[in-house]
Chains A and B, each alone.
Chain A
């Protein structure tokens, strides 16, 4: 049992932490958000130069062979800075799927530039009825001669506006799910872009288009296995990001209570608030433990991995909400304002739970496996 970081991990942690501190203060963050367009940001280029884009990918895929702990360290630092870059949705998730499922020429066309910071991608899977389940898409794919015809609608595709291509889930004629690679400029693809309340870019997509037969990356069990592993990474990453954001929300709240004077004394002297602050701290430390557990469980056998990841995601989602709500509450009216930076952490902490299954969804998984789990 050893919770300390090795030298390489410590260096990684320091590098990303410093980068985020230097390049994503509140003002820089606002600029990053305002200037998001088709071109990738200079911050993204720096990520690339520092190897952060290649880090979590295997060496065969052109990556640096980092593991779950490396991913955790990066995500935690991004969470601390509330970095408005689609590191998870634009890079990690679609990249892992391509690395597992795409053929050589597809990798050359889409994966290599992804890891080199030349473009981003997105996974399109939410539908009206899907909620948080990825395996039963209503979007249809029909085979005709050498082509596929894809028809359907995807909602809330995170990073759709920034994606050069989309990985799209669709049901095949035999009822099994398939995953298709769709260039963003395809005819028959229409998009409505918007931002989310936590400043992510997203879009709703309508598909009615024809694709070459090679567009089907995988289907059935091999697809489900790849999705399972990828989403497990995504969920562990979200836990880590949440912990980073929770750290800052707690720090800023504590600082505020020490500063803010009411009734002739700092608010931090009120015992009711001291206890509340302690509760926030407890939630943070317990969530941190769960994020570590999640990161360290990524290499376990599938069943065990998914059980622990679900437990971590459910736990962290609830802790994140507690900290977000208390951070606002203890800031009083200030905490309700756009101008107050902690409010942005609070929003991210709340909405992060809506990604890749919320706490209710994952608690259901835990409940379903309660008796058989190791």
Chain B
């Protein structure tokens, strides 16, 4: 039993820090720190920095452009990126579709798509959910009918994150309506410029445009764009779910959020003293800190098991549940820390279009919007109730 990082791991951490200090553009860093929304250009500008260094795709096998890092090194990398207020890498290409292509794709698909992803040439989005198929994803209805070398796709996807910037979407579609639910599903890669595709924004309760509806109306997709066999889409989707998910606890983000919370509680005055000194409030921060400490070790235990060959299974559900709850709690405490200053809605500032706020206003502006936005953490990627069903069934055998 040894909970220390090795000297090599510590050296690696220094290397990551130096890279971030050198390459993370300060304008982007400032926006992340203030909780402002990033433009597509800003995401891509940062991801290009990672690409140049060869660090965009730590999860990939080395022969395709991965880093060869151990799970612990990936963890360190994620932690340092969050601590430096680097943008989160948009996951749909690098961390979602790419592993599926690497595992199930044809050689042509690998040669075509993987370099483009590493180069940030394509912006991918994820077309799984439908209005009628959320937690019960396998009930999806978007239909793909074979017509020679093409499928003709009709249906509607929803909650498509950042689909407004995307030129590619990976979709689960029903190729065989007769087959049993999961068996009739296939995995298609679709160019968003194909005629028949339209994207409509969904505005979330924090006033942001982060998700979309995607309509597919007689969209012709080459059969060559199917990944895996026809009817194997569910296998691809499940692979993605159980595929190594070191980041699922969001630990780096949680640590950064806790630092931010403490910072806010030091800045706020309560009866002439910093709020962080008020015993009852301090206790709540301390409790969040305990949860974070426990989660970090739980996360490292799962990582160590993964390093030693055991693929993390339902353990990732535990990390997802606790990680999302913790991040929600931290955003809740930060909002409450700011007191009345958490009320204003400076939409233009949050969109990055307004420079006229003073220091206090800027510091506080994103707190409530972020609190509201973080509600999604317990809903998407398999809602927490569904994760608990998985744990009950798989780990506890209930």
Contacts and interface: CB of A to CB of B under 8 A. Distances in A.
A200 B343 CA distance: 9
Nearest to A200: B343
B342 to A, nearest CB: 6
A354 B202 contact: no
Nearest to A344: B205
B239 interface: no
Contacts of B372: 197, 347, 350
Contacts of A335: 205, 375, 379
A337 B280 contact: no
A177 to B, nearest CB: 15
B339 to A, nearest CB: 5
Interface stretch (A15-23, A123-131, A183-191): A123-131
B294 interface: no
B209 to A, nearest CB: 10
B205 A332 contact: no
Nearest to A343: B205
B204 interface: yes
Interface in A333-369: 333, 335-340, 343-344, 346-347, 350-351, 353-355, 358, 360, 363-364, 367
Contacts, number: 134
Contact of B339 (A131, A194, A202, A340): A131
Interface string A263-282: 11000001011000000000
A128 B384 CA distance: 38
A263 B135 contact: yes
A328 B378 CA distance: 10
A45 to B, nearest CB: 28
Given A131-B269, A197-B372, A351-B368, A358 B339 contact: yes
Contact of B371 (A158, A350, A358): A350
Contacts of B280: 360, 363-364, 367
Interface string A172-208: 0000000000000000000000111110101010000
Given A129-B269, A194-B344, A338-B204, A360 B385 contact: no
A348 B270 CA distance: 24
B159 A333 contact: yes
Contacts of B360: 128, 155
Greatest chain B CB density within 10 A among A130, A156, A355 is at A156
Contacts of B129: 333
A333 B158 contact: yes
- Most central of A128, A204, A333, A354 by chain B CB within 10 Å: A333
Contacts of A136: 272
Interface string B338-382: 011111111000000000000011000000110110011011100
B333 to A, nearest CB: 10
Contact of A336 (B204, B268, B371): B204
A196 to B, nearest CB: 4
Contacts of B134: 262, 332-333
Contacts of B74: none
B278 interface: yes
A58 interface: no
Nearest to A358: B336
A329 interface: yes
Nearest to A132: B339
B25 interface: no
B207 interface: yes
- Counting chain B residues whose Cβ lies within 8 A of the other chain, the interface size class is 35 or more
A96 B202 CA distance: 43
B76 interface: no
A272 B385 contact: yes
A340 B284 CA distance: 32
A133 interface: yes
A339 B132 contact: no
A353 B338 CA distance: 12
B83 interface: no
A259 B378 CA distance: 21
B275 interface: yes
Q: Which residue, of B207, B345, B346, B380, has the highest number of chain A Cβ atoms within 10 A?
A: B345
B271 interface: yes
A36 B120 CA distance: 45
Contacts of A197: 206-207, 343-345, 368-369, 372
Contacts of A353: 336
A325 interface: yes
B270 to A, nearest CB: 5
Given A333-B134, A338-B203, A347-B372, A155 B388 contact: no
B205 A360 contact: no
A324 to B, nearest CB: 9
Contacts of B288: none
A342 to B, nearest CB: 10
B136 A346 contact: no
A29 B185 CA distance: 43
Contacts of B275: 131
A332 B137 CA distance: 13
Interface in A26-71: none
Interface-central residue, A132, A332, A367, by most chain B CB under 10 Å: A332
Interface in B214-263: none
A69 B383 CA distance: 41
B205 A346 contact: yes
Given A131-B269, A194-B344, A364-B278, A332 B135 contact: yes
A321 B335 CA distance: 12
| Residue among B339, B368, B384, B388 having the largest count of chain A Cβ atoms under 10 Å | B339
A364 B278 CA distance: 9
Nearest to A194: B344
B336 A155 contact: no
Contacts of A133: 271
B207 A338 contact: yes
A329 B205 contact: no
B281 interface: yes
Contact of B341 (A155, A329, A337): A155
Name the residue in A133, A204, A336, A338 with the highest tally of chain B Cβ atoms < 10 Å from its Cβ: A336
Interface in A107-131: 126, 128-131
A339 B203 CA distance: 8
Nearest to B208: A338
A261 interface: yes
A263 B136 contact: yes
Nearest to B204: A336
A29 to B, nearest CB: 15
Contacts of A196: 343-345
Q: Nearest 4 A-B pairs (CB), nearest first?
A: A262-B136, A129-B269, A343-B205, A196-B343
22 contacts: A131-B275, A194-B346, A195-B344, A196-B345, A197-B343, A198-B343, A270-B385, A325-B375, A332-B379, A332-B383, A333-B158, A333-B159, A333-B211, A333-B379, A335-B375, A336-B379, A338-B205, A339-B203, A343-B205, A344-B205, A360-B278, A360-B284
Given A131-B270, A131-B275, A335-B379, 4 more contacts: A196-B344, A196-B345, A338-B204, A351-B368
